[in-house]
Chain A
Amino acid sequence: MSGVRLLVGTRKGAFVLTSDGTRDEWDVSGPLFAGWEIYHVNGSPADPDRLYASQTSGWFGQVVQRSDDGGTTWAPVGNEFAYDGLAGTHQWYDGTQHPWEFARVWHLEPSASDPDTLYAGVEDAALFRSTDGGHSWQELSGLREHQTGEQWQPGAGGLCLHTILIHPEDPARIVVAISAAGAFRTDDGGETWRPINRGLRSGELPDEDREVGHCVHRIALNPSRPDVLFMQKHWDVMRSDDGGDSWHEVSGNLPSDFGFPIAVHAHEPDTVYVVPIKSDSEHVPPDAKLRVYRSRTGGDEWEALTNGLPQSHCYVNVLRDAMAVDALDPGGVYFGTTGGQVYASPDGGDSWSAIVRDLPPVLSVEAQTLQ
C-alpha cells in the first residue's frame, strides 16, 4: 500500500508524520533529537529507509544523524566539515573581508542512485559530499574558490548554501543556490562552477547585470523537465528554460513576489507553488491571510489557494526548505510554518488541512512517497 512520510525539521527537534495513500489520517511521532535545531531531514530516493538529519546547536555545533530503518533508530555519523586548504575570506555585512567559518549544515541532498552518497550545503557557503553514508565529508572546493567568492556576502540568515539540485539524467550537473551570492552550476561533478544569475534583477545592487550578489531563496524543478528551473528570489519569482543560463520574471499577478519556498508539482511540470510574503521588512502573509499561490501555466498567472488555510489574523512565515510535494496521484503538497503548523493538501492545493498545529517553528519539510 502506498503512503507518505513527511520529515519535518524544527527549532526544537525533528518529527515524522506518516499516512497511507489517502492522506486523510496522520500519525505524528517525535520529537527526535529534542531541543536541537534540525535544519533538514531528507531520505534517499534509492533507499527510502535511509534518512539523514542535520542536527545543530549554537552551543554544541553540528551533528549529522543517520537512520537505516526509516527513522525508527538513528546513529550519529561524521560531523567534520573542514574546508579544503586555506579557507580564505568573503565579504562581511560591513563590506570588510571575513574568514570563512563553518557554522551548520542547512540542506542534505542524497544521490538518486546511491544511498551512501549525499551532498551537504553548509554555512558559510560551501558544498560537501560524502560517499560513505555520511561518515566522512569532502568539500567540492571549486565552488567556494570561484573567483567571485570574495564578493559573496551573507544574507540576514547567514551565508548559507541552501539549495542543491542534482540533474536527474546527468548527476555531474548540479545547481546550488547561496544567500546572498546567487545560483551556481557545475557540469563536471563539482570540479568547476559558474554563476548562473543572468536576468536576475536585485534593486539593492547598483549594477543590475552583476554576476553575483543576488539573494536567491530557493530553486525547484520537475524531474521530467530538469532544465526548467523556478526560483523564488528575495523579491521576484523567476524562471529559466535553459538550466539557469538565463532567467526571466514570472511573478505576474502575485500579491507580493517576496517569499521563501517554491515547489513544482510532481506530475505537472508547469504547476508551481509559492507562498507570497508581504515584504522583507515584515515577513508575514499579505493581509494576514495565509495563501499558497499556484500557477498552472509555468508562472505569470497565479491563483490563490485558500480552502482550509487561515484567512484572518495569520502572521506566520514559511521558510525556504519548508515546502514539499509527494509523487502520488493526485499529487500532494505540504508546508510547515514558523507557527508550528504543518499543512497538507492531498489534491494539489485545492484543499488544505493542518496535520499538526503546535510544533516548534518549522525549518524544513520533505515528503517521501512510499510504495
Chain B
Amino acid sequence: MIRVVLPHHLRTLTGVDGEVLLELDGQPTQQAVLDALEERYPVLRGTIRDHGTKKRRDFIRFFACGRDLSLQPADEPLPEAVASGSEIFRVVGAMAGG
C-alpha cells in the first residue's frame, strides 16, 4: 500500500481529507504512483505534471524518507519504505508567491 499526501489545494480539488492509499502492482515508481493517482482522481491530470509530456510542473516537488525525489527518473523504483507504506510519498507545492 502506497501512502500519498497531496498539498492543500489538490486536496480541496479532489475532496480528499488526509492520505490517499494506492494499491500498485509490481515495483512502485514515481510514474506508477502518479498514474494511479490520476486514475483515481482524473481532476489531477495536468495539475502535477503536464498532460502531454508528463513532465513535473515547475512548482511541484516530490519528497519521501526525508529526501527530495523530484529529480529522480520517473521510472526509477521508489524507496522500499515508500513501497511498504511505512513512509509517505508527499506531493508538495513550492513555497513561493503570495
Q: Which of A30-46 contact B (CB under 8 A)?
A: 34-36
A59 B52 Cβ-Cβ under 8 A: no
- Least Cβ distance of B52 to chain A in Å? 6
Q: Does B43 contact A (CB under 8 A)?
A: yes
* Bound CA span A145–B45, Å: 27
| A63 in complex: contacting residue of B8, B47, B48, B57, CB < 8 Å | B47
* Bound CA span A200–B75, Å: 54
- Least Cβ distance of A100 to chain B in Å? 13
B7 CB contacts on chain A under 8 angstroms = 59
B93 A63 Cβ-Cβ under 8 A: no
B13 A63 Cβ-Cβ under 8 A: yes
| A82 in complex: contacting residue of B8, B43, B48, B52, CB < 8 Å | B52
Q: Does A84 contact B (CB under 8 A)?
A: no
B45 A59 Cβ-Cβ under 8 A: no
* Bound CA span A148–B78, Å: 48
What mask results when residues 68 to 93 of chain B are scored 1 for a CB within 8 Å of chain A, else 0? 00000000000000000000000001
A345 CB contacts on chain B under 8 angstroms = none
* Bound CA span A110–B86, Å: 49
Given contacts A80-B51, A82-B52, contact A60 B93 (CB under 8 A): yes
* Bound CA span A61–B47, Å: 5
Question: Which residue from chain A places its CB closest to the CB of B14 in the assembled complex?
Answer: A76
Q: Which of A47-77 contact B (CB under 8 A)?
A: 57-63, 76
| A62 in complex: contacting residue of B46, B48, B93, B94, CB < 8 Å | B46
Q: Does A79 contact B (CB under 8 A)?
A: yes
A82 CB contacts on chain B under 8 angstroms = 51-52
Number of interface residues of A (CB under 8 A): 14
Q: Which of A274-329 contact B (CB under 8 A)?
A: none
A63 CB contacts on chain B under 8 angstroms = 13, 43, 46-47
B97 CB contacts on chain A under 8 angstroms = 58-59
What mask results when residues 7 to 24 of chain B are scored 1 for a CB within 8 Å of chain A, else 0? 111101100000000000
- Least Cβ distance of B42 to chain A in Å? 8
B59 A58 Cβ-Cβ under 8 A: yes
B10 CB contacts on chain A under 8 angstroms = 60
A80 B45 Cβ-Cβ under 8 A: yes
B9 CB contacts on chain A under 8 angstroms = 35-36, 57, 59-60
A61 CB contacts on chain B under 8 angstroms = 46-47, 57
- Least Cβ distance of A22 to chain B in Å? 36
A34 CB contacts on chain B under 8 angstroms = 12
B96 CB contacts on chain A under 8 angstroms = 58-59
* Bound CA span A301–B7, Å: 53
Q: Which of B5-63 contact A (CB under 8 A)?
A: 7-10, 12-13, 43, 45-48, 51-52, 57, 59-60
B93 A59 Cβ-Cβ under 8 A: yes
Question: Which residue from chain B places its CB closest to the CB of A12 in the assembled complex?
Answer: B98
B60 A59 Cβ-Cβ under 8 A: yes
B94 A59 Cβ-Cβ under 8 A: yes
Most buried by A among B8, B9, B94: B9
Can you name 23 A-B pairs with beta carbons within 8 Å? A34-B12, A35-B8, A57-B9, A59-B9, A59-B57, A59-B60, A59-B93, A59-B96, A60-B9, A60-B48, A60-B60, A60-B93, A61-B47, A62-B46, A63-B13, A63-B47, A76-B13, A76-B43, A79-B46, A79-B47, A80-B45, A80-B51, A82-B51
Tell me the A residues contacting B by CB distance below 8 Å. Answer: 34-36, 57-63, 76, 79-80, 82
